[in-house]
Amino acid sequence: MMLEITNIHKSFGNNEILKGVDLQIDKGDVVVILGPSGSGKTTLLRCINFLEKADQGHAIFGDIDVNLKTASKKQIHEIRQKVAFVFQNYNLFNNKTALENVTEGLIIGRKVAKDEAIEIGKKALDKVGLAEKYHAYPSELSGGQQQRVGIARAVALNPDIILFDEPTSALDPELVGEVLTVMKNIANEGTTMLVVTHEMSFAKDVANRVIFMDAGVVVEEGTPKDIFVNPKEERTKKFLKRVLPEDYIFYI
Amino acid sequence: MEKYFDVTYIVESLPMLLPFLKVTFLVAGLSVLFGTLLGFILAAMKIGNSKIAKKIAYGYTTILRCTPSIVLLFLTYYGIPAIAGNFGVNINDVDKIVFVVITFSLQFAAAMSEVIRTSYESIDKGQFEAAVSVGLSPSQAYRRIIFPQAFVVALPNFGNSLLELMKEGALAYTIGLIDIMGKAELIIGANYNTHALEIYLALAVIYWILSIAIEQLFLKLEKVFSKGKQVIKTT
Amino acid sequence: MSEGLNYQFLVDTFFVALSGVPIALIITIVSLLIALPLGFLLALTRINRIPVLNRFAQIYVSFVRGTPVIIQIFIIYSSVPLLLASIFEKYNINMNVYDVNPIWYAFIVFSLNTTAILIEVFRSALSTVSKGQLEAAYSVGLTNVQAFRRIIIPQTLVVALPNICTATVNLIKATSLGYAMSLQEITLRAKVAANVGYNYVEAYIDIFLVYLILCSLVEYLFKLYEKRLRRYKAVNV
């Protein structure tokens, strides 16, 4: 087991967003979390990377065993070295070029030598199809290109796992494809990924496990086939009926 | 009173006035230095979590915003020696420039605290999150990602505050500081109050050129530093 | 001075300072009444790049914003009387320049100054109201004047209001420089009272308090007005 989370709770004010979620991820897993908006998917991801502090919960990252509520600064820093994050609105560093965005974490966070970092960074950008854009600033890139830089930035760190928080939902429809293709490629290379998304085709084609969340709990989980073809829970069925076209089942 | 306007007075007064720009610059430079430091502290209080600190910092800004420079100048000029006197300290020999610098540092700090706060808040929270997500420590995230961006946002407002400071600084002559304005008053006095208009016009020209120069400088700086920052939020 | 504050004087002089408020307010209001429409019109010449006026407004704004108010005051106060005197002489008007109430000079200085500030305020506010608003107004058959009165100006005003508030507060503060024109406003009155017994600390505390109250009040009133004007915006949020 590479990542194991148990009983994670999180409230904002009186609003309980996560009500005791468990999650296990093995090396090489591509896990997709589905669920209606407000179900707590994004919050779960953010708690794993300590962008939000959980109210309760426990995590084991490889050899690090940590309480999500009381983790020390040092533990948080160590875990963040193992986990990379791809944001919904890209969050590229506006004052840095594409290449600098990718190398920043390597040089400053991981103390990789500058020349080496630049080489890694260029390779990562090549991989996402942006060999021409090393020195472009985020404001000079399209949304799709920005998100591909965001993915390159995560991949370059060579993390144990990459968390994707709705990576395509801020994009214009015609730009979604290029980002999904890149994600598919890195999944095929054996990268461990935890993805929150509304792209059913990605879940169906790429994931080896799908988790359905609603109202702060995991309702059901299984292979894509389990979830899309034979959902057991009523809530899952209702959700799928709403988000999938009438005749979608036939394409699986 | 002489009734005739004489341009030669403008030309002749310029070389007498210009050496005193040194004093004007000294006041502005020191006030910017101390004012920015205090402004940082106030901005930190406004951004931070302590409710009391917040109230104090905002209260300070409101009060200073409502106080005319000349009133603040005289309050420090008469008030500080009086307070010191109560503690048995005699500071009557302290140079006038000290009171001027205190006054304008206090005023500049109020303006800067707002400049710093708004530029800090203009930077999207996601920038910090992205920075720590790639393994930067919080202090590295601030130093390398947040501050450089906030600095560019702050530049134009900093320039404006500096211009205001220069102009308000002209009032220092009222407590007897001999800066460029004080020298102008001396020249007018020496002319038995004739041809005052010409001297004031000379002063106005000097200030005007100075303001335009500062304005242009900041436009240049903004261009130099604003790499990759045409748009802050594209989404 | 070391025997502490003279509280009796502090209280008495507070009312002396307070008695200067009407003059400060009259100057502020008159200046705004002149500067608001003039500033708006000149801002329009800037936005629409009307040849000569645009250039004139640009230089005018640059000068006023680039020089200290006190120097502007001195320039007006030492030039206008000269001008008036020569006019009186030329047309044989039997009037002494020194009898002119200094408040007239204050009106001139502060409306000229505020006009320049407001040109910039309105210029940036006007540029935020999109061209589409004007086009839409024409498309439903409004005339130019109607479009401005009913659509453009109300929207501009909402955007400009915080800056108009700042300009007003700065204007009130700037009236403290009226002493340079022997104007009997807040600062000068309290200062004169202090001259007798060297109670300067007390006098300036009083002056400080009066401006603080006055400016806070003005800011508060602007906030109230802004809330009312913003009603149509609340729907968008």
Predicted confidence (pLDDT) per residue in C160-203, tens digit: 999 999 999 999 999 999 988 888 888 888 888 888 778 888 89
C-alpha to C-alpha distance for A47 and C90, rounded to whole angstroms? 85
The token pair that represents A79 in the structure block: 């875990």
Chain C interface includes B21 (CB < 8 A): no
Q: Which residues lie across from A196 on neighbouring strands? A: A33, A165
A73, A95, A153: best to mutate for the B interface, most B CBs within 10 A = A95
Please provide the DSSP assignment of B37-67 as one string. Answer: HHHHHHHHHHHSS-HHHHHHHHHHHHHHHTS
Q: Which residue has the higher pLDDT, A47 or B193?
A: A47
- Nearest CB neighbour to B144, from listed A84, A108, A137: A108
Predicted confidence (pLDDT) per residue in C66-117, tens digit: 999 999 999 999 888 888 888 888 888 877 777 888 899 999 999 999 999 9
Q: Which residue has the higher pLDDT, C100 or B60?
A: B60
B128, B134, B232: best to mutate for the A interface, most A CBs within 10 A = B134
When pLDDT is averaged across residues A182-197 and rounded to a whole number, the result is 94
Are A178 and A148 within 8 A, CB to CB? yes
With cut-offs at 50, 70 and 90, classify the pLDDT of residue C233: low
C-alpha to C-alpha distance for A29 and A209, rounded to whole angstroms? 8
- Chain B: nearest CA to A164, how far in angstroms? 12
Burial profile B97-110: b = 16 or more Cβ within 10 angstroms, e = fewer: bebbbbbbbbbbbb
The count of CB pairs under 8 A between chains A and B is 86
Asked whether this complex has an ipTM greater than 0.95, the answer is no
Residue of chain A nearest B136, judged by CA positions = A109
**Are B71 and C69 a contacting pair at CB < 8 A?**
no
Domains of chain B: 8-234 (1.10.3720.10)
Q: What is the pLDDT of residue C237?
A: 35
CA dist B65 to A228, B109, C160, C201, C214, Å? 63, 11, 19, 20, 12
Residue linked to tokens 């109430």: C101
Predicted confidence (pLDDT) per residue in C21-34, tens digit: 999 999 999 999 99
Domains of chain C: 26-184 (1.10.3720.10)
- Nearest CB neighbour to B136, from listed A83, A108, A139: A108
CA dist A103 to A152, A160, A179, B141, C147, Å? 10, 18, 20, 14, 54
Q: What is the pLDDT of residue A130?
A: 95
Predicted confidence (pLDDT) per residue in B20-42, tens digit: 999 999 999 999 999 999 999 99
- Nearest CB neighbour to B170, from listed C1, C68, C173: C68
Q: Which residues contact B171 (CB under 8 A, 6 or more apart)?
A: B69, B70, B73, B181, C68, C70, C177
Residue A12 CA from chain centroid, whole number: 22
Does A52 have pLDDT greater than 80? yes
**B207 contacts in C (CB within 8 Å)?**
66-68, 71
When pLDDT is averaged across residues C142-166 and rounded to a whole number, the result is 88
Chain C interface includes B220 (CB < 8 A): no
**Are B135 and A49 a contacting pair at CB < 8 A?**
no
Chain B positions touching chain A (beta carbons under 8 Å): 124, 126-127, 129-137, 140, 144-145, 148-149, 152, 227-232, 234-235
